[in-house]
Amino acid sequence: MYKSIKNIIGIALIQSLVMLGAGAAFAAPEMVLKFAGQSNADHPATLLMKEIAKEIAEKTDGRIEVKVYPASQLGDYTLVYEEQIRGTIDMSCISVPSQFDPRMELIYINGFASNYEDLKTVFAQDGWMFKKMDEFNERLGVKLLGFFVEGMIGTGTTKPAKDPLNPAVNKGVLIRVPGMDVYKLAAEAMGYNSVGIPYADVYQAIQTGVANGVNGYPVASAYTTLGDVLKYWYMTNYSVEVLNFMISGQTWAKLKPQDQKIIQDILAQATIDSINNAKELDEHHMDLMRKKGIEVFTYTKEELAPIMEACASTWPKLEKNMTKELMDEFRKELGPK
């Protein structure tokens, strides 16, 4: 009788352990994080966000679940940033809004990197740019985790630009630039005449001759939105289209140290992955441009040096909003060597 009862107890214990194990495998996560993005559902940034969410779940053994909300479902990038300050949105992959601190336009300054290998150094988590942007964000209650590089920026035109690598020569081209001083100053330093036109009106402006081209577009965006009207593409790499991976400071403080490290490591690799992918996407879309009949011009880092120096010559004019102290640091860390 004793042996029989013992066996029964043993079987019951094994069954209980199996059930407990199954329950643990499907246990509810300790935290569910809302991850807000501004890009469309099929955009490379959104696809990477989904990969990040999956990897966080796997490497935290399900303790953290990340839900991705693309296409500004939780609001535009300014609202998302405000909600991260409040702690009501946890993570984001968005443009950084400069109205909270004008110095955060640091990320948009032109002329500090002319190829993808440079970007890997500039945007590394142990680099000056990351540390400085993290400092500005932390003052507002948001932590920077990494960067999403969509692509490097060139100039698209409807007529040939004169001597495109010589900033001393007026290009004879009127181009639309984004509404920030960093773009206007850089375009004019490179020898272009510039005009401000709302983003939604750019295609019609070029089609009707109000402008002869654009600055401020990465290759994929230029091809997909303006491919039917552009005739020339100069891959000058004078700037970079970049989004920011961020997390609410309140959310960050709730994470266990080991989970903080897991997320930091994942986002460090995601930054590198985005740069590698951006290079491939840029080359792919330049091939599509060629097939469409657009003349594409690419250059070496050495050939682009005069343009980079011309862009750098405009940096003192940014001191009003960026402060002289910050721009002095920027020149020291990322200026032409």
> What domains does the chain contain, in order, with CATH numbers?
29-334 (3.40.190.170)
Q: Which residues of 201-232 are buried (b: 16+ CB within 10 A; e: fewer)?
A: ebeebbeeeebbbbbbbbbbbbbeebbebbeb
Say what the pLDDT of residue 130 is. Answer: 97
Which residues have C-beta within 8 Å of that of residue 32, sequence separation ≥ 6? 64, 65, 66, 67
**Tokens in use for 122?**
């500039």
Say what the pLDDT of residue 6 is. Answer: 40
Round to whole Å and give the CA distance between 232 and 192: 15
Round to whole Å and give the CA distance between 71 and 251: 22
All residue ranges of the chain with pLDDT < 70 are: 1-26
Say what the pLDDT of residue 323 is. Answer: 94
Read off the DSSP letter of residue 146. E
Reference 234, options 332, 303, 169, 139; nearest CA is: 303
Q: Which amino acid is at 318?
A: L
Say what the pLDDT of residue 321 is. Answer: 87
Contact 216, 153 (CB under 8 A): yes
Which residues are 235's β-sheet partners? 298
pTM, whole model, 2 decimals? 0.86
Question: Residue for token digits 């990038």?
Answer: 77
Here the contacts of 203-209 (C-beta below 8 Å, separation 24 or greater) are: 203/229, 205/176, 206/158, 206/176, 206/230, 209/158
Say what the pLDDT of residue 23 is. Answer: 42
Say what the pLDDT of residue 336 is. Answer: 83
**Tokens in use for 288?**
């599509």
Contact 251, 87 (CB under 8 A): yes
Say what the pLDDT of residue 179 is. Answer: 83
Contact 185, 238 (CB under 8 A): no
